[in-house]
Structure 1
Amino acid sequence: MDVDAIYRNKLTSADEAAAMLRSDSDVAMGMAVAEPPAILAAMARRVEAGDLDALRIWYFHSMSHAADTVLQRDLLGRVRPHCMFLSGVERALMRAEPDRCAQMIEFVPTAFSASPRLLREDRELDACVTMVSPMGRHGYFTFGAANDYTSAAARAATKLIVEVNPLMPRVFGEGPLHVSEVDVIVENRSPLLEVEGHTPSAEDEAIADIVAGMIDDGACLQMGIGNLPSAVCARLKTRRDLGIHTELMTPALAELMRHGAVTNRLKATFPGRSVFTFALGDRAFYEWLGDNQAIYSLPVDIVNDPRHIAKNDNVVSVNATLQVDLSGACNSEHMMGHQYSGSGGQLDFVRGATASKGGKSIIACRATAKGGTVSRIVPKLDGPVTTPRNDVEWIATEFGAANLRGKSLNERAEAMIALAHPRFRDALARSL
C-alpha cells in the first residue's frame, strides 16, 4: 500500500472539503484544540452565502476557532449548535442576545463518557471534521490532543474530513487513524489554541493546602482544569510514585511528571504511562506531548468509565463545583438561572475514585462567590444535581474538608455549615 499516494489523492482545499457537506445534516466537530480552523472557516463561508443551511453541529467545549466561524451569532439558526458542554463561547452568545441565542443553542445533557455512544449510535452523522497530527510513514495520523469522542465520531460518520496541522502533537494511544479511513485531507499550519494559567486566589491556595494534604505517595490522580487543581499539583512535587489517570492532561500534571513525582509504576492499567483523553495548555506543553512515550491517549468512554477508573488503587479525584446543599448534593453546571457548563466527567470520576481501593473523591469549591456576598453552601440547590448526595464523599472549602460518606442528613448539614463562610453559618442553621 502506497500511503503517500493515497494521501496525495485525498488532499484538497478547505473550500472543496466544505463543499462535501449538505444542508439538513448532522456534523461532529473536534473539540478544544482539535477545532479545525480552515475547514470551519470554509463551512462558515458556505453558510453566509446561503449555500448551506440547517447544519446541526455536535461537540463538547468550543473555543475561539469555532467562535470566529460556525458559531458566529449571525449564523445561528442556519447553524444549529448541539452542545454537550457550554463554554465561554456559548455563554458570550447568550449574554449578547439572551432570548434568541438561548433558543438557537441546543444544550444536550449527557455525561462526557456517554458522548461516543451518542454520536455512534443515536445520531446518523453525515460528517466529522477535526484536526489531526501529521501522517507517519506507515500511514497513521493521531488525534493528538483530543481523542475524547472524536475518535468514535470519526469512524461513525459517513464522511471524515481532517485538517492536518504540523503543530498538532503526535500522541501515542488507542485508535490511531489510518489514511485509508479518511475521505478528505486539508493541510493547514496554524498555532494551536492555548489556555494560560492565572494566579490562584488566597481561597484557592488555602483549599489547595487542604487537598494536597489528603494525597499520599502512590496516589493515582485525576485533576480538572483551573487555578485550584494547578495549585494542588504545585504542592505534590515531593510525592513519590504518583500515577495519572485523568480526563484532562494539563501543564500542572506535566510538571509533576517532569519533577519525577509521577512514575505510574503502581497502576493496574497502563503501568508506566499517564492516561488521558484530551489536553489543554500552552505551546511548550503541546511540544512536550509530541512523541512522548510516557503518556497514553484513550477515548473518553474508556478513560471516564468508573469501572475502568476503579481498577487502579488509591485513585484521588479532584473536581470543582458551583454549589453544594446541606445534604452534600452538588450543582456543578448551572448558575444564576442558566446552564453554565455541563456535567462533563465529574460523576464518573466521583464514582470511580470512590470504588477504587483506598481511593478518595474530593469536590472542592470556595465557600463564597460574587466577592463574598453569596454562599456556595446553600439549603437547596438552584440548578440540577450534577453529583447526587448518595455519591458525594469529600467536600472541601477554604474552611476545611468533611467526609460525608456514612453520615446522616443531620450530620451532613452540621459538617456543611462548618465548611461555609462564618457570615452565612447562622442563616444556614436556621434553614434546617
Structure 2
Amino acid sequence: MYKEEYRKKCVSADEAVKVVRSGDWVEYGFAASMASVLGEALARRKEELHEVNLRGGVIMGPLAMIDCDPSGEHFIWNSWHFGGRERKLGQAGLAYYIPIKYSEVPRYIRENLQTDVVVIQVAPMDDYGYFSFGVTVSHYAAAIEKARNVIVEVNEDMPRVHGGYDHTVHISKVDYIVEGGHRGLPQLPSAAASELDQKIASYVLPEIKNGACIQLGIGGMPNALGQMIAASDLKDLGIHTEMLVDGFVDMVAAGKVTGMCKQRDRGRIVFAFAAGTQKLYDFMRDNPSLAAYPVDYTNHPFIASQNDQLISINSALEIDLAGQVCSESAGSNMITGSGGQLDFVEAAYNSKGGKSFICLPSTYTDKSGQVQSRIKSVMTLGSLITDTRTTVHYVVTEYGKVNLKGLSSWQRAEALISIAHPDFRESLIAEAQKLRIWRKRG
C-alpha cells in the first residue's frame, strides 16, 4: 500500500541533506539513534554550510560532520546531555550544553525552540507505513511537528519497539528516506560494579520491597544494584524509567519483573530511550512487554509518581552540607548533564511508599593525586545544582544512608558528615561550625 510512496521518497543521503541550509537548527538524534550515513553526507557539504546548529545528546560513536570541522565554523553541537565524547568537545569549545529538566524537552521544542530539519535513525517501515523510532523515543515526535523537513535513515538492525504513543512516525510525515543498510547500533557496556559500588548498593537494596517500581540510571552503582536485585528474593517488580539499560534485562531474566503491581502501564516496562549492549537491543526487538513513550510521559513527576513504591536511584558528583546535589559538573567543567534526575527525585518522593536515593562514593582523587571529599561544606565554585536541598530524600555513600527530608540545617550537616569518609569528618565539623550549622551536643 505504501511501497510507491516509499519508492518516491527514497533518495541518496547526499540528495536528502540538500534541504539543510546555513543557520538551520537540525534535531540530530539521541544516544544510540544517531544517523551516521546522513552525518557523512553533511560532512561532504561542509564548505557550503555555515553556522548549522545540530541538536542531540550522548554521542556514542564518531560523527563525521563534527569530526571534519575542528574549528566549529560550519557545524555547532548543542547537547541535551553530555557523554564522554561531548565532554571532550566541550572542553575544546566545540560543544555546548543545553540546561534541561528532561521531562520538559518536548515542550521546549514545541513552544520555545527553532527546529528546521529532523535527521534521525529508524527501524524499517511496517506494512501500515509506520517507522518505529526504535531504541529512542524521547522528544522525536515534538521535533517532527515543528520541522520544515524530516529525513529518516533506515537501519535494518534497529529493533522495532512497542510503545504507548509517539513512538513511530508515519511515512506521510517524512520528506526523505535514506536506506542505511545493516549498520548495527553503538554499544554502551555497563560499567563494572566495584566493591565500593556494591557496598553503596547494599544500603539501598533493603529499602526495596516486593511490588516496587524501579528507575535506574547508568553506571557502576546502578549496575551493581541491578545485579543484586536479580539475585535477590524480590518479586513482582515494575519498571518505569527514563533510560533502559542492561541491568533491567538481567532483572527480567531472573524472573523479578512482572509489572503487575503498577498503577500505570500495568505489566509493561516503560522507558524513553535505551542504550546498552546487543543483549539489550535483542531484548527490545518486537517485545510486547515494552512501552516506549516520549519523555514528557516517562519523566513527568505527576505521571511517574502514580506508580506506588517508585524507587529512584541516581548518582552524584558532590553534595554540600545544606543538601544541595551536583550531578553534572566539576566546578565549571561540564561532565554530563542534569537529564531526568530531578524529575525522578520529585516523582519518587511523591509516590505512595516511594523513595529517592542519591548515591555517591565519599571521596575522589583529584588530578594532583590528592584524595578529596565529595561531601563539601559548600559547593565547589562553579558547580551546578542539579537537585535543590528541599528535593533531596535519601543520600547514600559507602558509610551509610541518611534521610534529609524535614531536617534542620544542623541536623542535615550532622547526618551528611556521618556518612562522609572518616578522614574528613573533623574538618567538615570545623567548617560547619564556621557556617553556624553545627550544634554541639553532650
User: Which residue is equivalent to 2:49?
Assistant: 52
Counterpart of 2:174, as a letter, is V
Paired with 1:380 and 1:341, the residues of 2 have a C-alpha distance of: 21
Name the SS of the counterpart of 1:271 in structure 2.
coil
The 8 Å contact of residues 79 and 98 in structure 2, kept in 1 or not, is answered as yes
Q: CA deviation at 1:208?
A: 1.1
The aligned runs of 1:21-420 (5 Å cut-off) are: 21-47=20-46, 50-66=47-63, 68-70=64-66, 72-74=68-70, 76-95=72-91, 97=92, 101=93, 104-173=94-163, 174-175=165-166, 176-188=168-180, 189-237=182-230, 238-370=233-365, 373-382=371-380, 383-420=383-420
Q: CA deviation at 1:75?
A: 5.0
Q: CA deviation at 1:212?
A: 1.3
The 8 Å contact of residues 58 and 86 in structure 2, kept in 1 or not, is answered as no
Counterpart of 1:204, as a letter, is D
The 8 Å contact of residues 36 and 65 in structure 1, kept in 2 or not, is answered as no
- CA distance 1:75–1:131, change in 2 (3 Å): farther
The 8 Å contact of residues 65 and 75 in structure 2, kept in 1 or not, is answered as no
User: Which residue is equivalent to 1:423?
Assistant: 423
Q: Per-residue displacement from partner, 1:60-117 (whole Å, max 9, x unpaired)?
A: 2222133x4335552512212222222211222244x4xxx1xx43322111112111
The 8 Å contact of residues 218 and 242 in structure 1, kept in 2 or not, is answered as yes
Paired with 1:23 and 1:269, the residues of 2 have a C-alpha distance of: 44
The 8 Å contact of residues 143 and 151 in structure 1, kept in 2 or not, is answered as no
Q: Per-residue displacement from partner, 1:353-372 (whole Å, max 9, x unpaired)?
A: 00000000101000111177
Paired with 2:105 and 2:169, the residues of 1 have a C-alpha distance of: 19
Name the SS of the counterpart of 1:28 in structure 2.
strand
Number of corresponding residues: 422
Counterpart of 1:368, as a letter, is T
> TM-score normalized by structure 1?
0.95
Counterpart of 2:152, as a letter, is V
Paired with 2:68 and 2:219, the residues of 1 have a C-alpha distance of: 26
Name the SS of the counterpart of 2:378 in structure 1.
coil
Q: Per-residue displacement from partner, 1:295-317 (whole Å, max 9, x unpaired)?
A: 11000011100000111100000
Paired with 2:156 and 2:71, the residues of 1 have a C-alpha distance of: 30
Q: CA deviation at 1:346?
A: 0.4
Counterpart of 1:126, as a letter, is D
Counterpart of 2:426, as a letter, is D
Paired with 1:298 and 1:316, the residues of 2 have a C-alpha distance of: 19
Paired with 2:327 and 2:73, the residues of 1 have a C-alpha distance of: 29
The 8 Å contact of residues 332 and 384 in structure 2, kept in 1 or not, is answered as no
Paired with 2:136 and 2:197, the residues of 1 have a C-alpha distance of: 28
Q: Per-residue displacement from partner, 1:134-181 (whole Å, max 9, x unpaired)?
A: 111111111100000122212321110000001001001112211111
Name the SS of the counterpart of 1:74 in structure 2.
coil
Paired with 1:236 and 1:74, the residues of 2 have a C-alpha distance of: 45
The 8 Å contact of residues 305 and 351 in structure 2, kept in 1 or not, is answered as yes
